[in-house]
Amino acid sequence: MTTVCLSANTLYYPEGGGHRWVYLNWALGLLAAGCDVFWLEGVDPATSDDDVRWLVERLAADIAPYGLEDRIALWSYADDGDDYDAPAGRPMEGILDADLLLNFAYGMPDRVVQRFRHSALIDIDPGLLQLWLSRGELTVAPHDVWFTTGETVASGSSSIPDTGRMWIYTPPAVCVDAWPVHCAPDQGPYSTLTHWWDDEVFWDGESRDNSKRVSFRPYLGLPREAGIALEIACDLPEDDEDVSLLRANGWRVSSGVAVAGSASAYQQYIRASRGEFACVKPSCLWFANAWVSDRTLCYLATGRPAVVQHTGASSVLPDRSGLLRFRTPQEAAALLNEAESDYDRHSREARALVEAHFDARGVAMSVLERALP
């Protein structure tokens, strides 16, 4: 049996149910592929033992339904972290003979990566990670294999900076068994979950806002133009002026933590939706990275059509079949109505798309074949 240590990055964001699912889908795919799986998290040395125990308890509660609660191990960011005596989880020493470190934590120190026999990094920020690396804004330890979830990163057919690494494309993953088709509510909204703000990025000679706020503003009038209920679950406080602006234009706005503060709540929120409507970070458009969100895959797996912003030419992503990709507000309104007018077909095609290209078991097996000698 192949043993894989999956290094996630969720410990300090216990209220991020959707963020937890990014890594949980991969872990479940590895399990379905017949692997023995351990869940690794990095610990800031400034965190007290009591806080570490509480954070691990929150993580364990989220992944317990899938039998992973006793598979957690911790490593430390401290310079002398090799001697870290974790107050919770398994000791690292017991899992260092794993066949593969599958690493999503860009900041994992070289001394930790090198303790494993084989290592592979998964890039889930295609375009941005390469930009950070090319400018020296981020240092990532050497890995044996470099995977990316951006199609055009690996193809070299975009403006994404060259980092001197050989990037291999892998689709993002969704565990279709954990996300079965679920009957959609007739009156449910087309929803999405997002962070509203993000950092500025220096690109093409200028500093640019890379927030979802910028992306959604051209679509403020969409609920009325399309005549379809749209909802955003985000991290804005109730009294924020953007909440008032969204609601004044017909949007429903809810708290992301309130509706998706755990892995199970996140799943329930998506099931209560009729579909997804989402804009991407502006950087996805600058880079044309042909990326699709793991969140969108969860909607699709559940049989929810997803109307999302176009991120570039793709050999995998359709434009009007379960996944409907728009470039303008007018096109977004038309595609929302197209999804509604032939809902059952788009629902079937949504599920078929993830089964064909994003099923976590198949994705995991493909990664293992390329990452292990």
Tell whether 254 and 117 lie within a shared domain: no
Tell whether 239 and 112 lie within a shared domain: no
Which domain range does residue 283 map to? 190-357
Among 88, 63, 79, CA closest to 112: 79
Tell whether 281 and 365 lie within a shared domain: no
User: Is there a domain that residue 321 lies in?
Assistant: yes
Directed axis angle between helix 329-341 and helix 343-357, to 10°?
100
Q: Torsions phi, psi of 274, nearest 5?
A: -90, -25
Tell whether 165 and 195 lie within a shared domain: no
Residue-level pLDDT at 79: 81
Residue 84 pLDDT grade (very low, low, confident, very high; cuts 50, 70, 90): confident
Q: Which DSSP string corresponds to 261-318? A: SSHHHHHHHHHTSSEEEE---HHHHHHT-----HHHHHHHHTT--EEEE--S--SS--
Residue with tokens 């892995």: 263
Q: Work out how many domains the chain is built from and give that number.
A: 2
What is the model's pTM?
A: 0.97
User: Is there a domain that residue 308 lies in?
Assistant: yes
Rounded Cα distance between 85 and 366, Å, is 35
Residue-level pLDDT at 139: 96
pLDDT at 155 over 90: no
pLDDT at 83 over 90: no
Tell whether 155 and 200 lie within a shared domain: no
Residue percentage of the chain with pLDDT more than 70: 100
Residue percentage of the chain with pLDDT more than 90: 94
Residue-level pLDDT at 81: 65
Q: Torsions phi, psi of 198, nearest 5?
A: -155, 175
How much is the average pLDDT of 176-205?
96
Tell whether 80 and 203 lie within a shared domain: no
Residue-level pLDDT at 3: 98
Among 86, 91, 82, 41, CA closest to 63: 41
Rounded Cα distance between 233 and 101, Å, is 33
Tell whether 169 and 194 lie within a shared domain: no
pLDDT at 373 over 70: yes
pLDDT at 156 over 80: no
In terms of C-beta density within 10 A (0-12 exposed, 13-18 middle, 19 or more buried), how is residue 240 classed? middle
Tell whether 283 and 308 lie within a shared domain: yes
Tell whether 147 and 214 lie within a shared domain: no
Tell whether 273 and 340 lie within a shared domain: yes
User: Is there a domain that residue 178 lies in?
Assistant: no
How confident is the model over 267-299, as pLDDT tens digits?
A: 999 999 999 999 999 999 999 999 999 999 999
How confident is the model over 1-36, as pLDDT tens digits?
A: 999 999 999 999 999 999 999 999 999 999 999 999
User: Is there a domain that residue 185 lies in?
Assistant: no
